[in-house]
Structure 1
Amino acid sequence: MTPTLPGIDSADAERVDSETVGTDRRRLLLILLLATAVTVFTVTVPLLRDWFDLRVYYGAVNTWAHHGGRLYDYRVPGTTYGFTYPPFAAVGMLPMALVGLHTAIALCLLLNLAALAAVLYILVGPMLRRYGWFGVALALCLLALLEPVRDTFSFGQVNLLLLALVLGDAWLLSTGRGRWAGVGIGLAAAVKLTPAIFIGLLLLARRRRAAGLATAVAAAATAAAAWVAPDASRFYWTEALWDTNRIGRLAYVSNQSLQGVLARLAEPAEPSRAAWALVVLAVLCVWARRTHRAVTAGDWTGAFALTGLTACLVSPITWVHHLVWLLPSFAVLLRHRRLLWVAGSLYAVLCSSVVWLWFDDASGLDGFLGSNTYVWITLGLLLWLPVAQSSVGRRPLRHRVMKTAPAPTPATPTSAPATVQPGREDSFLATGTGSPCAPAPASARGEGRGEECGGSNDPTGSTRPADSKPQSSSERAS
């Protein structure tokens, strides 16, 4: 017998149950169709990368651990590509030397799935909880189509792991648990140098303790690697770090950084280092100004999104799979309903692999515009991403000191104290439920603070969800 609620007869309850089952079935059918389409697209349109970068890591670490080879001398057979990360990354990958290649691939897939789950929880956790299994399945299908994400999985890359570490610090800061903030950024910077720019973000935000902790963790990890592998560390910091030819050709179309734009313009000549330095300086100035506004308003989502964009632009090499650092920017766009069409349009472009149309020839105006499409997207987001516009669910950098209201006179009725709204979720992105609330009494409000409530009626507070690299051949390493 179907249980009923007071005021609802059994016929109504059965009808509600029937509608719920029908909705779940339609959702399941939609997910199955979408998953099928994603699978067909993935295995036919953008060629799979055959875990090329993971093969680099595995071969280098295995040779180093078992055959007495030098870490940075290893090359994937038939290519010129070898290990390019700091020694701490190699030390962290040493467990791969205990298993076979296929086991290492399986472990890499599991780690990337776990990292992606953490990223989704931090960025859009409230939305996923609201829609349950359907929201999770839909998000995974959509992300599987996004070129940077699918390439990260297909190459066996570490980008999602680094993003999860950095966003973990963002979550700690945004929820007031900043005691250990900086550890994730420090570890990420020790594995790969680019995330070190987030230490600059902490300094801009005047989070000196977090910045110091991140620096100390990165330094300690680097020192530990030097103790374990002194020869490899000496070679990396004195030679390998400065040899860009080890990574790949700057003009290669997968390099979607400002340096890549200049290299394609100058090809076959070398790009001007002075021009690159000036462009990088301009981008850093824009980043510092916009990020300072974001952190002053307590918009950690926006601040970390802007920093990820800047990291992609100023890095000498930003392969397409590095653009997972754009995911926080999509989270910012999704909290503004009026910008959903922008998020959808950018998502479609980043799924299209459009830059590969200029794989052979990036000359001419069409080559300049088309081969750098992802750079233009990144630069546009840095300039126009809406940050510091909504205070819902954010923690300001400094608590405002509220003026103490004078004691009421006997002739003045005493105002009821404002109550704390229960059930507020600690999340990187606010849910923006838009639930109505009564204005707090004037004595309990600071100037210009408006209503005191846990939710917001502002729709912006809601969330919704050398040679070439082996993108189309067998060349290039991480």
Structure 2
Amino acid sequence: MEDRSTRLTRFVRFGRPHPGAAALWAVFVATAIVSSVLVLHRAPDDRLSDLHIYYGAAEAVRAGDALYGFVAENGGPFTYPPFAAVLFLPLTWIPELTLRIVWLAATAGAVAAIGAAMSRLVPARRTALLAPLLAFAVLITSSAQSNLRFGQVSAFLVLLALVDAAGLTPARHRGVLIGVAAAIKLIPLLFVVFLVWSRQTGAAVRAAVTFAGCAVLGALALPSDSWTYWSGTVLRTSRIGDLASTGNQSINGMLLRAGVPQTAVWVAVAGAVCVVALWHARRAHLAGEPGRAAVLAGCATVAASPVSWTHHQVWLPLAAIMLITAGGGRARPVAGTVLLCAAVLSPSTVLRAAGAYPGLAFLGDNARTLATIAVCLTGLGLARAAGSPPVLPLPRSDPGRRWSRLGQDRLAYVQRVEPDQTEDHPERGQ
């Protein structure tokens, strides 16, 4: 057995921060600070404009005005469910200028948490450097920068759905965070379908009950506004903005840009893509790959939503990270690198600046939509068969006992298949 001093020495060594990880986290923080300063130096009507809408809508609620009659100075209305407005009420407790700084810091923290969560879910070898590397990779993408620029909630919702759907929350509470995320923005409700299909009935029930409970809370706090929203405003997607603009990288946006405005076509195409994506997600979950399953379900929300602005597309770089770290050949890492580049750069801007032909321009305008569809249809590569043993983290054990057990296993193998060698080498395997 180890004595107390040996155990203490091991604990102290384990507790020391990794110098490389500390340096990478410092780079992440510096990049987040620079990004935030650049946001704060934008023109007044082009910095944290969505946060301003949240703040103004919450002030309108406190003043007793109609929530869905509120329009900000930039013409932006409040488009979320009433529960979100109730949740935003505490924002008015501090001055808006202070809130901007707090919100930017919180958004950067959410991106860091997404990177840390992904470091526990990717198939790559886990090291202390992985979390800050993945967090930085997400931070420099257009989707994360858009969250900072507009003061959006999307990064927080992705974090809630990711950790919940991937099983990083306690089993008895699983589904609650998905329900909260869906109560703020409806599109995470697709995760409930994923939970049901992947045989996570308890989590699906908790998510649905949490969503319903939040909706009831919003109705009790804002009965008139709740009636307005659920009786018709929820279906008026035109309030969100120009859905045909290149910023909307959903299937709906691509079809509108292609001159196909029929809702039935959008529902059919988006429905088919979602079915395939959730089928792949179900297989991944049953094969013991919860991270892959959660990312696939998230990409399905980007494809299926009537509108998927840049700040909604955080799931795309997460899919790229899954591909890059997958191993097993060059195809997936290369595809992941291309996908990550598309998430960092703007293919539309690059191709149009290069004077691309109309066909290439259309490809650039819809590059992220097509990439999301490809992820959904391929399932990030073939998952293992549903009946194969799940990939579970190895239990932490005493190193001495672990090596001793390995030696015993090796000796048992030798005695079983190489009996003549055990007599010549009695110490083999110890």
Give the TM bin, normalised by the shorter chain: 0.7 to 0.9
Aligned pairs, how many? 377
Give the structure 2 partner of residue 86 of structure 1.
81
Question: What is the identity, as a one-letter code, of the residue corresponding to 2:248?
Answer: N
Give the structure 2 partner of residue 59 of structure 1.
56
Paired with 1:234 and 1:56, the residues of 2 have a C-alpha distance of 21
Paired with 1:264 and 1:91, the residues of 2 have a C-alpha distance of 36
Give the structure 2 partner of residue 281 of structure 1.
271
Query: Conserved in 2, the CA contact under 8 Å of 1:256 and 1:372?
Result: yes
1:206 lines up with 2:199 in the alignment: yes
Query: Conserved in 1, the CA contact under 8 Å of 2:118 and 2:134?
Result: no
Worse-superposed segment, 30-39 or 343-352: 30-39
Matches within 5 A, 1:260-339: 260-266=253-259, 271-337=261-327, 338=330, 339=332
Query: Conserved in 1, the CA contact under 8 Å of 2:253 and 2:307?
Result: yes
> Residues 138 and 182 (structure 1 numbering): CA distance in 2 closer, same or farther, change over 3 Å?
closer
Relative contact order higher in (CA < 8 Å, ≥ 6 apart): 1
Match of residue 384, structure 2, among 372, 389, 404: 389
1:373 lines up with 2:367 in the alignment: yes
Paired with 2:32 and 2:161, the residues of 1 have a C-alpha distance of 32
Query: Conserved in 2, the CA contact under 8 Å of 1:51 and 1:155?
Result: yes
Query: Conserved in 2, the CA contact under 8 Å of 1:291 and 1:303?
Result: yes
Structure 2, unaligned runs of 5 or more: 1-17, 398-405, 414-430
> Residues 31 and 210 (structure 1 numbering): CA distance in 2 closer, same or farther, change over 3 Å?
closer
Question: What is the identity, as a one-letter code, of the residue corresponding to 1:371?
Answer: D
Query: Conserved in 2, the CA contact under 8 Å of 1:309 and 1:378?
Result: yes
Paired with 2:389 and 2:407, the residues of 1 have a C-alpha distance of 14
> Residues 379 and 441 (structure 1 numbering): CA distance in 2 closer, same or farther, change over 3 Å?
farther
Give the structure 2 partner of residue 405 of structure 1.
none
Query: Conserved in 2, the CA contact under 8 Å of 1:264 and 1:362?
Result: no
> Residues 331 and 365 (structure 1 numbering): CA distance in 2 closer, same or farther, change over 3 Å?
closer
Match of residue 225, structure 2, among 220, 232, 235: 232
1:341 lines up with 2:343 in the alignment: no
Paired with 2:292 and 2:121, the residues of 1 have a C-alpha distance of 17
Give the structure 2 partner of residue 472 of structure 1.
none
Paired with 2:408 and 2:339, the residues of 1 have a C-alpha distance of 36
> Residues 437 and 381 (structure 1 numbering): CA distance in 2 closer, same or farther, change over 3 Å?
farther
Give the structure 1 partner of residue 72 of structure 2.
76
> Residues 440 and 308 (structure 1 numbering): CA distance in 2 closer, same or farther, change over 3 Å?
farther
SS of the residue 2:396 aligns to: coil
Q: How many angstroms does 1:217 deviate by?
A: 0.4
1:375-420: CA deviations, max 9, x gaps?
011111112212523978735xxxxxxxxxxxxxxxxxxxxxxxx9
Matches within 5 A, 1:160-239: 160-172=155-167, 177-239=170-232
Question: What is the identity, as a one-letter code, of the residue corresponding to 1:257?
Answer: S
1:50 lines up with 2:44 in the alignment: no
> Residues 272 and 376 (structure 1 numbering): CA distance in 2 closer, same or farther, change over 3 Å?
same
Query: Conserved in 1, the CA contact under 8 Å of 2:274 and 2:300?
Result: yes
1:99 lines up with 2:94 in the alignment: yes
Question: What is the identity, as a one-letter code, of the residue corresponding to 2:213?
Answer: A
Paired with 1:182 and 1:25, the residues of 2 have a C-alpha distance of 35
Give the structure 2 partner of residue 121 of structure 1.
116
Paired with 2:160 and 2:24, the residues of 1 have a C-alpha distance of 35
> Residues 197 and 423 (structure 1 numbering): CA distance in 2 closer, same or farther, change over 3 Å?
same
Matches within 5 A, 1:147-162: 147-162=142-157
Match of residue 247, structure 1, among 237, 240, 243: 240
Q: How many angstroms does 1:53 deviate by?
A: 0.6
TM, length-normalised to structure 1: 0.69
Query: Conserved in 2, the CA contact under 8 Å of 1:257 and 1:315?
Result: yes
1:417-444: CA deviations, max 9, x gaps?
xxx96417xxxxxxxxxx99957979xx
Question: What is the identity, as a one-letter code, of the residue corresponding to 2:66?
Answer: R
Worse-superposed segment, 112-121 or 99-108: 112-121
> Residues 96 and 32 (structure 1 numbering): CA distance in 2 closer, same or farther, change over 3 Å?
closer
Question: What is the identity, as a one-letter code, of the residue corresponding to 2:142?
Answer: E
> Residues 440 and 122 (structure 1 numbering): CA distance in 2 closer, same or farther, change over 3 Å?
farther
Question: What is the identity, as a one-letter code, of the residue corresponding to 2:51?
Answer: L
Paired with 1:246 and 1:108, the residues of 2 have a C-alpha distance of 25
SS of the residue 1:298 aligns to: coil
Query: Conserved in 1, the CA contact under 8 Å of 2:138 and 2:318?
Result: no
Paired with 2:320 and 2:114, the residues of 1 have a C-alpha distance of 12
Q: How many angstroms does 1:289 deviate by?
A: 2.7
Q: How many angstroms does 1:298 deviate by?
A: 2.2
Paired with 2:24 and 2:286, the residues of 1 have a C-alpha distance of 45
Query: Conserved in 1, the CA contact under 8 Å of 2:83 and 2:184?
Result: yes
Q: How many angstroms does 1:113 deviate by?
A: 2.8
Paired with 1:223 and 1:41, the residues of 2 have a C-alpha distance of 36
SS of the residue 1:93 aligns to: helix
More helix by share: 2
SS of the residue 2:313 aligns to: helix
Query: Conserved in 1, the CA contact under 8 Å of 2:113 and 2:135?
Result: no
Give the structure 1 partner of residue 103 of structure 2.
108
Matches within 5 A, 1:446-465: none
Give the structure 2 partner of residue 453 of structure 1.
none
Query: Conserved in 2, the CA contact under 8 Å of 1:31 and 1:138?
Result: no
State percent identity of aligned pairs: 30
Worse-superposed segment, 104-113 or 120-129: 120-129
Question: What is the identity, as a one-letter code, of the residue corresponding to 1:113?
Answer: A
> Residues 198 and 33 (structure 1 numbering): CA distance in 2 closer, same or farther, change over 3 Å?
closer
Paired with 1:295 and 1:29, the residues of 2 have a C-alpha distance of 31
> Residues 102 and 297 (structure 1 numbering): CA distance in 2 closer, same or farther, change over 3 Å?
same
> Residues 350 and 171 (structure 1 numbering): CA distance in 2 closer, same or farther, change over 3 Å?
closer
Structure 1, unaligned runs of 5 or more: 1-22, 396-419, 425-434, 443-478
